Amino acid sequence: MATVEPKLILLFSGKRKSGKDYVTDLIHQRLGPDVCCILRLSGPLKQQYAQDHGLDLAELMGPGEYKEKYRADMIQWGENQREKDPGVFCRLAIKGAQQPIWIVSDARRLSDLQWFWRVYPSQSRCVRVEASEETRRERGWEFTAGIDDAESECGLDQGVNFDWIIKNEGDGSHLEEQLATGLLSIAKEKAKEN
Ligand SMILES: Nc1ncnc2c1ncn2[C@@H]1O[C@H](COP(=O)(O)OP(=O)(O)O)[C@@H](O)[C@H]1O
Ligand SMILES: C[C@@](O)(CCOP(=O)(O)OP(=O)(O)O)CC(=O)O
């Protein structure tokens, strides 16, 4: 099925356990599956990695220790693929998307953002989910050298002027209010463009 030209692309990034999946799931629930879809750059990466290495894809896609066991090698494997073709996982992730709003839940590198800025310059907005290390630890994060100090986690720490920053501390008591305000602001901006 051909990919439909989107009207808006929200490119989410954030540290491990900052709440990227949690927040994007909430937005997806709010807007509904007819209006928006969640696209994961890690989806096609994990699919190919699992196939190449004879691993359990469902486990790799899950939140547990299995993914963490292979994360470092997946990162290296993925970067090797990106060196050959920077947009490879972006193209695969959007394949067949039909909804007008795309939520990319896991942008990690400038090359990810640059691909969307180049191919969909007027539709792409960068969103950062932020949480303190304390909150992230409460959610099960532990600093891991070679991962939390590498491009996969730090690639967007500098040099990006985010269109929207979402603070997702603790139980996210102010999260709903931020989502309502942020989505309304983007909708108003898009309405002015058209
Ligand atoms: N605002 C929140 N309230 C309650 N639980 C949250 C909140 N944000 C994240 N979580 C939980 O924290 C864990 C990590 O969130 P997740 O979205 O998987 O992080 P990321 O995708 O950034 O690694 C998950 O168990 C998720 O349900
Ligand atoms: C190799 C990866 O794609 C693995 C990403 O897996 P997830 O997207 O499941 O990670 P978190 O949700 O942040 O815990 C990272 C990369 O550098 O491409």
pLDDT class for 3, splitting at 50, 70, 90? confident
Q: Does the annotation flag 7 for ligand binding?
A: no
Which residue range is the domain that position 41 belongs to? Answer: 8-192
- CATH code for position 30: 3.40.50.300
Rg (CA), the chain: 16
Token pair, residue 108, equals 């990690």
- State the pLDDT at residue 75: 96
Residue pair 153/14 in contact (Cβ under 8 Å)? The answer is: no
Q: Is residue 53 part of a domain?
A: yes
Q: What is the reported pTM?
A: 0.96
> Residues for the chain: how many in total?
194
Which protein residues touch ligand 1 with a CB less than 6 Å away?
A: 14, 16-22, 63, 139, 168, 171-172, 175
DSSP string for 11-63: EEEE-TTSSHHHHHHHHHHHH-TTTEEEE-THHHHHHHHHHHHT--HHHHHSS
Token pair, residue 15, equals 């540290």
Cross-strand pairs, 129: 14, 166
Tens of pLDDT, residues 157-194 = 999 999 999 999 987 779 999 999 999 998 888 888 86
Q: Is residue 3 part of a domain?
A: no
Tens of pLDDT, residues 52-110 = 999 999 999 998 899 999 999 999 999 999 999 999 999 999 999 999 999 999 999 99
How far, in Å, is the centroid of ligand 1 from the Cα of 140? 9
Q: How many CB atoms lie within 10 A of CB 44?
A: 20
How far, in Å, is the centroid of ligand 2 from the Cα of 192? 35
Tens of pLDDT, residues 117-137 = 999 999 999 999 999 999 999
Range from 14-23, 135-144, 170-179 carrying the lowest mean pLDDT: 170-179
Q: Is residue 146 part of a domain?
A: yes
Token pair, residue 31, equals 């807007």
Q: Is residue 93 part of a domain?
A: yes
Residue pointed to by tokens 């309304």: 184
Q: Is residue 1 part of a domain?
A: no
- State the pLDDT at residue 190: 84
State whether residue 120 is helix, strand or coil: coil
Domains of the chain: total:
1
